[in-house]
Amino acid sequence: MKRSYKPEIFKGVFIMTTLVLLILFYVTIKLRIDFMFKEIGEINAVKGQLKNKQIKLKVELQELASEHRIRTIAIEDLGMVKRSEPDKIIYIDSELIKDIKENTESENE
């Protein structure tokens, strides 16, 4: 009787199919990893741009809120006048404040 090669052919096809599937799985995973690294790079670039924009906006805010700029606009554009002395001066005794604070704390307890 002749020996049948069907089981050996089946084993060979099974092994080859398994290897091809493993290679395809590896390539798929590798491509996904590369794509994710590319996305990370793009996101980091956008993050850097946003940080730069935030810094520029902070600088612009500081320039717009500067006392010199506000004073210049008030005097030149609005016709306001800088007062040389305050209208009223109020003096507060710090000891009196401490006494009042202690009294209110003792009443609340």
What the block records as the tokens of 105 is 């704390």
- The candidate with the shortest Cα–Cα distance to 46, out of 34, 58, 54, is 54
Average pLDDT of the chain, as a whole number: 90
Using an 8 Å Cβ cutoff, are 73 and 82 in contact? Answer: no
How many structural domains does the chain have? 1
User: Does residue 16 lie in a domain region?
Assistant: yes
User: Does residue 1 lie in a domain region?
Assistant: no
Structural domain including 77 reads 6-108
Q: Is the pLDDT of residue 80 over 80?
A: yes
User: Does residue 57 lie in a domain region?
Assistant: yes
Q: How confident is the model at residue 109 (pLDDT cuts 50, 70, 90)?
A: low
pLDDT at residue 31 in the model: 98
CA 71, distance to chain mean position in Å, is: 34
User: Does residue 11 lie in a domain region?
Assistant: yes
- Per-residue pLDDT, averaged over 87-91, amounts to 81
